[in-house]
Amino acid sequence: MNYHQLNEQDIAYLISIVGEEHAFVGKNIEKDYAHDELGTVSAYPDIHVFAFDKSHVSNIMKYAYEKNIPVTVRGSGTGLVGACVPLYGGILLDLSKMNKIIELDKTNLTLRVEPGVLLMDIYEHVEKENLFYAPDPGEKSATIGGNISTNAGGMRAIKYGVTRDWVRGLEVVLPDGEMVQLGGKVVKNSTGYGLKDLIIGSEGTLAIIVEATLKLIPKPKKTVSLLVPFASREDAIQAAPQLIMEHVLPTALEFLEKQSLQYSETFLGKKIPHNNYNAYLLISYDGNNEQAIEEDVEIASALCVDKYKALDVFLVDTEERRKSVWTVRGGFLEAIKASTSQIDECDVVLPRSNIGAFLEYVRKVSDDLKIRIPYFGHVGDGNLHIYLCKDDFSDDEWQEKLKVGFQALYEKAFSFGGLVSGEHGIGYAKREFMRKQLGEKQLAIMRGIKASFDPKHILNPGKVI
Amino acid sequence: MNYHQLNEQDIAYLISIVGEEHAFVGKNIEKDYAHDELGTVSAYPDIHVFAFDKSHVSNIMKYAYEKNIPVTVRGSGTGLVGACVPLYGGILLDLSKMNKIIELDKTNLTLRVEPGVLLMDIYEHVEKENLFYAPDPGEKSATIGGNISTNAGGMRAIKYGVTRDWVRGLEVVLPDGEMVQLGGKVVKNSTGYGLKDLIIGSEGTLAIIVEATLKLIPKPKKTVSLLVPFASREDAIQAAPQLIMEHVLPTALEFLEKQSLQYSETFLGKKIPHNNYNAYLLISYDGNNEQAIEEDVEIASALCVDKYKALDVFLVDTEERRKSVWTVRGGFLEAIKASTSQIDECDVVLPRSNIGAFLEYVRKVSDDLKIRIPYFGHVGDGNLHIYLCKDDFSDDEWQEKLKVGFQALYEKAFSFGGLVSGEHGIGYAKREFMRKQLGEKQLAIMRGIKASFDPKHILNPGKVI
């Protein structure tokens, strides 16, 4: 790409839009803004600007479009595939301070937010009104704009779906600065091509989200979790799809294995109760009627013990137990990161029937390559998070093992009907694998779509396609 | 558009693909295949062919692409906006006989079907296995391919979402005949742009669906409906969003008014119980626990009577009552059609807070234009079906009233945050209104998307964009 190199005049103009205290240039750009959470790729922008409202975004894009300057949008920077890294320099457009909750509409059960609002702030805001935003990605300090841009999933996807299912409308700024409204406060929509659904998951390459209208529902009055231990990984993983099939949809159905559990316990200095088993399912049910949930728990417990070889069933019913179990579960990624010098991730999603066989293969790759590969996963929805760990390997060895390891894992996943990414996206890091899976034809269509939105290719170049 | 005019050689080749008994030319093309359910636009193809498997579709498209022949796909022809009418002649590609249910996968809770499978056959197939496909459009003899192509909604959208939310994967034939797989048996997907979601709702203009993988859930064990009478339309409509807000999400929340009720009762020769009120809400709750549903019903009943001015609450609890109420509700469109010489429809969707004010305006337009405008609606999700009736007007008067009436209705809907179509699509009939609402910029992007899939514009020309 042949982009315009920012000069002093450009910098001065951009500063004039957001104000001097909100723009950073050269050595004043903090190191953290050159990479994301995993840091597998890194690059500095020419200018890092914080936008405070949609007119800032629109004015910056008008200028960038006219001058042919690349623009990369950033939220909290919690991504894992390098999507917010300004590979071609230019403008790093930071929306983390566009973080106002605009309107909670109780009649239409919608929440209008700016893109920089954090997931945890959304939960807090709506739950005190007895309302519920169901998507539950692990990283609660991610922005909603980032969640929408990766179509984030999380632990409640099995029952409540993913971020896509909870976005009713978007207001976006197009690469030329024009603002358009997609969808709205409406439940149904068959009005032309699904542009809103195209923006969702497009990782900042098609348009910039400046406002989102989220769907809410009345908050389920009660949630109960079960910690169900098994003698082996195989037993636990086989139980999961059976339990879904033979009972009701749980709210969450997570798989824990001794190894990841120990990393997390060590990292957090906390232990879960009953932590001496090889493998567990962590199962939740929610609802409004106490008796109905008790019945769900009873049926599930009986099925687990009588039919699926569970060794026991522990009710996670006190606030203390709930906190310890879910905190340890939530600490997996941080713990694995802390256990080594560098990690890279495989975020495949598979039909849930194939998880057992796939994890078997992961163990084989780990043995063959002599590399540590901890993992954890949402067995309820088939999405696994698998981490290759650098440990004491040299940079060259690490690159080689990553190459061979990823190739093996993705190929096996494809053969099982899996896809490259369940919820973390493609960004920079997974482009090669997506290309392999989808093939040239789908890529060509995607490139055509990209050109329809962004004919000058100034929005987040080098990502996704 | 400058398309190739089919000659004898083309016809012979196309016949050779599907076999002589499955292709019809000239006077052998039945009149019904020149229009859809509403018949507001009509045109004959040069050839009407039934495809029996995906290779037929692929081979026909390869030929059409090479020769530059327009192709319009048809399912059951139950559409209301002319989307399946071959405006430019060419090939009418009928998929209604590609109607095999390929695989019910209980482990992954998915159903693989050909596009011509009827909605009612899907229900029957999965419900006997205690599984549930939740989308519930009124027209049960529609094909699943048609449902996907319009992103059909239906009565359970408020709780379970629309067709889009129940499609896990699609296999499609592109305009040049190449076949690609989008999504699969997976719950999550963040692998590049959402092409599957782009095909959903694109009304046969981007690619041809030859297989769909649908999501299923365990079937709720019990459903109860309430028929709740009110003294006036206003009271009923005000109650709806309050009930959603102050209780749980109902499975369905429909609005019935005396007039539409009477049309349907007369048409069907059936009466609902307690049919002497001005307006009703028809409310359903489903679940697995008897007591929980009883509690839902109790709370809802108390709220309706004590807080929302309901005159009574009738439990629709016997099979006979259920049948009579839902049959009469299901007969609205047929009854309105039968009451006049011609109708045309406005399928707007609004934020549910604005339904009352909008229906007020519908009555005003009806009075001002002196035209009969019956309607009914999904008040739970804000989607209204409003019918202008030709009655004794001349063709010219009818066209004039349609023009003025639709313009007024859509403009008012837009001012209320509504959209042109909630579930019936744009097709041929609503293009002008969509253009007005979305504006030139969005249309240009949609045209770019169209060109990325279909550079020769041979797929369903003259529709949507």
Q: Which residue of B has its CA nearest to A217?
A: B249
pLDDT of residue B360: 96
For residue B248, pLDDT over 90 is answered with: no
CB-CB under 8 Å, A451 with B449 = no
Average pLDDT (B423-431) is 97
Residue type, A409: L
CB-CB under 8 Å, A437 with B452 = no
pLDDT of residue A452: 98
pLDDT of residue B307: 97
Q: Which helix (H) or strand (E) holds A202?
A: none
pLDDT tens for residues B266-309?
Answer: 999 989 889 899 999 999 999 999 999 999 999 999 999 999 99
Average pLDDT (A354-375) is 97
Residues of A in contact with B187 (CB under 8 A): 153, 157-158, 162, 349, 352, 380-383, 422
Q: How many CB pairs under 8 A join A and B?
A: 301
pLDDT tens for residues B352-377?
Answer: 999 999 999 999 999 999 999 999 99
For residue A317, pLDDT over 90 is answered with: no
CB-CB under 8 Å, B441 with A180 = yes
Helices A431-453 and A395-415 cross at an angle (nearest 10°) of: 80
CB-CB under 8 Å, A382 with B184 = no
pLDDT of residue A26: 95
pLDDT of residue A163: 98
Give A7 to chain B, closest Cα distance, Å: 31
Q: Which residue of B has its CA nearest to A430?
A: B191
The β-bridge relationship of strands A110-113 and A91-94 is: unpaired
Alpha-carbon dihedral sign for residues B333, B337, B339, B344: positive
CB-CB under 8 Å, A292 with B287 = yes
pLDDT tens for residues A163-196?
Answer: 999 999 999 999 999 999 999 999 999 999 999 9
Give B415 to chain A, closest Cα distance, Å: 12
Give B2 to chain A, closest Cα distance, Å: 23
pLDDT tens for residues A152-166?
Answer: 999 999 999 999 999
Tell me the Ramachandran region of residue B86: left when phi exceeds 0, alpha when psi lies from -120 to 50, beta otherwise: beta
Give A411 to chain B, closest Cα distance, Å: 15
d(CA B83, CA B188): 31
Give B47 to chain A, closest Cα distance, Å: 28
Q: Which helix (H) or strand (E) holds A303?
A: helix A290-306
CB-CB under 8 Å, B353 with A190 = no
What was the ipTM of the complex prediction? 0.96
CB-CB under 8 Å, B434 with A191 = yes
Q: Which of A165, A190, A244 shows the shortest C-beta gap to B109?
A: A244
Q: Which helix (H) or strand (E) holds A219?
A: none
Q: Domains in chain A, ordered, with CATH?
A: 8-97 (3.30.43.10), 101-218 (3.30.465.10), 222-333 (3.30.70.2190), 340-433 (3.30.70.2740)
d(CA B360, CA B364): 7
CB-CB under 8 Å, B445 with A151 = no
For residue B3, pLDDT over 90 is answered with: yes
pLDDT of residue A381: 94
Q: Which residue of A has its CA nearest to B110?
A: A351
Residue that is written with structure tokens 């728990």 in the block = A297
Average pLDDT (B37-41) is 91
> In a 3-state reduction of DSSP, which class is residue A6?
coil
Q: Which two tokens stand for residue A231?
A: 């003698």
pLDDT band at B211 (very low <50, low <70, confident <90, very high): very high
Helices B319-330 and B258-268 cross at an angle (nearest 10°) of: 100
Full-model pTM: 0.97
For residue A247, pLDDT over 90 is answered with: no
Q: Which of B164, B192, B247 shows the shortest C-beta gap to A446?
A: B192
CB-CB under 8 Å, A109 with B446 = no
pLDDT of residue A259: 87
pLDDT of residue B91: 98
What distance lies between CA B294 and its chain's CA centroid?
A: 32
Q: Which residue of A has its CA nearest to B147?
A: A190
pLDDT tens for residues A2-27?
Answer: 899 999 999 999 999 999 999 999 99
Q: What is the overall mean pLDDT for chain B?
A: 96
pLDDT band at B316 (very low <50, low <70, confident <90, very high): very high
Q: In this structure, are residues A23 and A48 in contact, taking their beta carbons and an 8 Å threshold?
A: yes
pLDDT tens for residues A191-239?
Answer: 999 999 999 999 999 999 999 999 999 999 999 999 999 999 999 999 9
Residues of A in contact with B158 (CB under 8 A): 187
Q: Which of B418, B422, B452 shows the shortest C-beta gap to A452?
A: B452
Give A115 to chain B, closest Cα distance, Å: 19
Q: What is the overall mean pLDDT for chain A?
A: 96
pLDDT of residue B317: 86
Count the neighbouring beta carbons within 10 Å of the beta carbon of residue B109.
26
Cα dihedral A110, A113, A117, A120, rounded to 10, equals: -10
Residue type, B335: A
Q: Which two tokens stand for residue B49?
A: 């062919």
Q: In this structure, are residues B420 and B348 in contact, taking their beta carbons and an 8 Å threshold?
A: yes
CB-CB under 8 Å, B218 with A186 = no
For residue B1, pLDDT over 80 is answered with: no
CB-CB under 8 Å, A186 with B349 = yes
CB-CB under 8 Å, A194 with B151 = yes
pLDDT tens for residues A49-104?
Answer: 999 999 999 999 999 999 999 999 999 999 999 999 999 999 999 999 999 999 99
Give B83 to chain A, closest Cα distance, Å: 12
Average pLDDT (B217-246) is 95
Give A4 to chain B, closest Cα distance, Å: 25
pLDDT band at B152 (very low <50, low <70, confident <90, very high): very high
CB-CB under 8 Å, B108 with A353 = yes
Mutate to test the interface with B, among A193, A196, A202, A222 (most CBs of B within 10 A): A193
For residue B51, pLDDT over 90 is answered with: yes
| Buried b or exposed e, range B304-339, using 16+ CB within 10 angstroms | beeebebbebbebeeeebeebbbebbbbbbbbbbeb
Q: Which residue of B has its CA nearest to A431?
A: B192
Q: Which helix (H) or strand (E) holds A321?
A: helix A319-330
pLDDT of residue A383: 96
Residues of A in contact with B189 (CB under 8 A): 151, 201, 349, 419, 421-422
CB-CB under 8 Å, B245 with A106 = yes
Residues of A in contact with B453 (CB under 8 A): 445, 448
**What are φ and ψ of residue B123, in 5° steps?**
-55, -50
Q: In this structure, are residues A458 and A64 in contact, taking their beta carbons and an 8 Å threshold?
A: yes
Residue that is written with structure tokens 């457009």 in the block = A93
CB-CB under 8 Å, A195 with B445 = yes
